[in-house]
């Protein structure tokens, strides 16, 4: 039986040079509407802090903003970086969202801070303790969402029995063990953390224990996608991403630069081991080029869903790429052979 592969979007609300946060967040909503119209399954916001070029810091507020202005697409966190937060407050926030937008809210939980060490300590002074207690912190959230806590001394009544599926996010094998043990769906951040993807997927599938939420494993993998009319144009758009990742690695993070021609120097930067490792799963080119790259990735990983990051300077180009990737997934799913 053929497996249908879902496609979704991970949104970081990256600010392009010359744009404002307000413009960027408005574009995030417009992109969500495009995604909804093109059968994307979900639209997740990441959580990042202390960055002048990333607008996805108040994740729960952005979920509210998009859910209120769309109708059917699932909206959620990719993810809430749980060590930054009180599990009780997160349960209350997402319980509230679930009542406002029934059957549409996802709660993806990660362990990383989504920022530098100094900022993480400013967000929560006991961050390291909370990070080490990530499995226990997840259990607290599950407890607050459960009807079994209805007689507890500390409750989140608005969250009790709310329909909010929990996803474990990860970039290492530790998260795979945890997701498998808890019988929860697993999303791997392979759009930038590529080293452990295959081993993490194997661990998760081998160790998966059925739960009330799921009888069998469910996997999501992050990929970078840029589609344009020609391979050359897509490579040009990709130069903005190369410069952005170079800035991340050198500690010189800036707003997203306009694309330029793909020079030999930029090719050298892309093929530098540190940059290339992070951007290994980047599918760049025409629709046909990206379809072949996507099919190869799906055959290799056997994941159930792709969650796409499209970092493109011009919003019109980003919309076009988003629409074309929906066509790619429709064509892949229409093929009779099993992936």
Over residues 26-42, the pLDDT tens digits come to 999 999 999 999 999 99
* Chain centroid to CA 47: 10
What is the rounded radius of gyration, in angstroms, for the C-alpha atoms of the chain?
Answer: 19
Give residue-wise pLDDT tens across range 320-329: 999 999 999 9
Q: Which whole-number Å values give the CA distances from 302 to 193, 296, 298, 319, 338, in the listed order?
A: 18, 10, 5, 27, 10
Give residue-wise pLDDT tens across range 259-308: 999 999 999 999 999 999 999 999 999 999 999 999 999 999 999 999 99
SS3 assignment, position 178: helix
% of residues, the chain, pLDDT over 70: 99
How many Å apart are CA 53 and CA 81, to the nearest integer?
A: 19
pLDDT at 123: 86
Residue with tokens 């500690």: 251
Give the count of beta carbons closer than 10 Å to the beta carbon of residue 9: 26
**Exposure string (b/e) for 304-321, b if CB count within 10 Å is 16 or more?**
bbbbbbbbbbebebbbbb
User: What is the rounded average pLDDT of the residues 247-264?
Assistant: 90
**Exposure string (b/e) for 180-208, b if CB count within 10 Å is 16 or more?**
bebbbbbbbbbbbbbebbeebbebbeeeb
Out of 57-71, 112-126, 298-312, pick the least confident: 112-126
pLDDT at 338: 46
* Chain centroid to CA 34: 17
pTM of the model: 0.95
pLDDT of 339 above 60: no
In this structure, what token pair is assigned to residue 284?
């760049």
Residue with tokens 């926030």: 93
Cβ neighbours of residue 41 closer than 8 Å, sequence gap 6 or more: 6, 7, 8, 73, 74, 305
Pick the CATH number of 6-229+282-334 from 2.120.10.30, 3.20.20.30, 3.40.50.20, 3.40.50.2020: 3.20.20.30
Report which DSSP code applies to 82: G
Give the count of beta carbons closer than 10 Å to the beta carbon of residue 75: 25
Residue length, the chain? 339
* Local confidence band at 56 (pLDDT 50, 70, 90 cut-offs): very high
SS3 assignment, position 121: helix
């Amino acid at each position: 039986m053929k497996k249908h592969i879902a496609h979704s979007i991970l949104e970081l609300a990256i600010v392009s040079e010359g744009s404002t946060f307000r413009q960027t967040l408005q574009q995030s909503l417009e992109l969500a509407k495009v995604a909804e119209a093109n059968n994307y399954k979900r639209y997740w916001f990441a959580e990042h802090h202390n960055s002048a070029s990333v607008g996805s810091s108040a994740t729960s507020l952005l979920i509210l903003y998009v859910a209120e202005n769309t109708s059917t697409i699932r909206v959620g966190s990719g993810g809430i970086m749980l060590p930054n937060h009180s599990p009780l407050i997160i349960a209350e926030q997402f319980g509230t969202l679930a009542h406002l937008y029934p059957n549409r809210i996802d709660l993806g939980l990660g362990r990383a801070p989504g920022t530098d060490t100094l900022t993480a300590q400013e967000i929560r002074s006991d961050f390291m303790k909370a990070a080490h207690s990530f499995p226990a912190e997840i259990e607290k959230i599950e407890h607050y969402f459960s009807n079994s806590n209805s007689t507890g001394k500390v409750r989140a009544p608005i969250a009790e029995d709310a329909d909010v599926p929990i996803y474990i996010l990860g970039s290492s094998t530790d998260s795979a063990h945890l997701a498998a043990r808890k019988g929860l769906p697993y999303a791997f951040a392979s759009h930038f953390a590529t080293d452990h993807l295959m081993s993490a997927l194997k661990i998760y599938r081998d160790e998966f224990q059925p739960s009330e939420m799921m009888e069998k494993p469910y996997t999501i993998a992050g990929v970078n996608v840029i589609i344009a009319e020609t391979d050359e144009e897509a490579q040009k758009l990709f130069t903005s991403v190369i410069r952005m990742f170079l800035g991340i690695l050198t500690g010189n993070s800036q707003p997203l630069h306009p694309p330029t021609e793909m020079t030999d120097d930029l090719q050298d930067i892309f093929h530098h081991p540190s940059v290339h490792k992070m951007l290994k799963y980047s599918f760049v080119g025409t629709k046909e080029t990206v379809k072949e790259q996507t099919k190869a990735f799906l055959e290799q990983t056997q994941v159930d869903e792709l969650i796409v990051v499209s970092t493109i300077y011009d919003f019109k180009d980003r919309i076009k790429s988003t629409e074309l990737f929906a066509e790619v997934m429709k064509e892949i799913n229409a093929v009779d052979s099993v992936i």
